[in-house]
Amino acid sequence: MNRPRLVLASLPLLALAAVAAHAHNAICDCFDNGDETITCEGGFSDGGKAVGVPLRVLDASGKVLVDGKMSDESDYTFPKPKVDYRVEFDGGQGHVVTIDGRDIEE
């Protein structure tokens, strides 16, 4: 039961992100860990990983509070901002997923 994404996974990471984003949608979701941290998970609609994909946290004025990259597990955890914020998961080629901090629940 080989899946196309297994082939993708063997490509260099940058190529993976680009190829996956070209053919598939970028997907990101975040939750509140209840300990003043937020975890965001990402991936692509073919199951492709999001390792190294940029994840930014911005305040209401657009100032970047956190400039991170998805881990080897395709997730990223950051301290919960004290101010209103949004998360941007940049899947490349215009595939940016934006999540309002007020929508992030435990």
Partner 1 sequence: MAARATSSRSMAATLKSKPRPVARLLATALGGLVATAAEAHFQLLYTPEAALNESAAIELALVFSHPFDNGFTMNMGMPEAFYVVSQRGEGDPKTTDLMQYLEPIEWSGVDSKAAAYLARPPRTVTRSLGDYTFVLRPAPYYEQNEDKYIQQITKTVVNVGGLPGAWDEPLGLPVEIVPLDKPYANWVGGVFRGVVLANGEPVPHAEVEVEFLNHEPQIAERRFDPEGKVTAPQDSFTTLSIRADAAGQIIIGLPKAGWWGICALNLDDDLKHEGKELSLDAVLWVKATDMTK
* Residues near partner 1 (CB under 8 A): 1, 3, 5-6, 9, 25, 27, 29, 31, 41, 43-50, 73-74, 105-106
> Of 4 and 79, which CB lies nearer to partner 1 in the complex structure?
4
Shortest separation between residue 76's beta carbon and partner 1, angstroms: 13
> Of 43 and 54, which CB lies nearer to partner 1 in the complex structure?
43
Shortest separation between residue 16's beta carbon and partner 1, angstroms: 11
Long-range own/partner contacts, residues 50-55 (CB < 8 A, 24 or more apart): 50/17, 50/26, 50/74, 50/89, 50/91, 51/13, 51/16, 52/13, 52/14, 52/17, 53/17, 53/26, 53/89, 53/90, 53/91, 53/92, 54/88, 54/89, 54/90, 55/28, 55/87, 55/88, 55/89, 55/90
Shortest separation between residue 26's beta carbon and partner 1, angstroms: 10
> Of 46 and 59, which CB lies nearer to partner 1 in the complex structure?
46
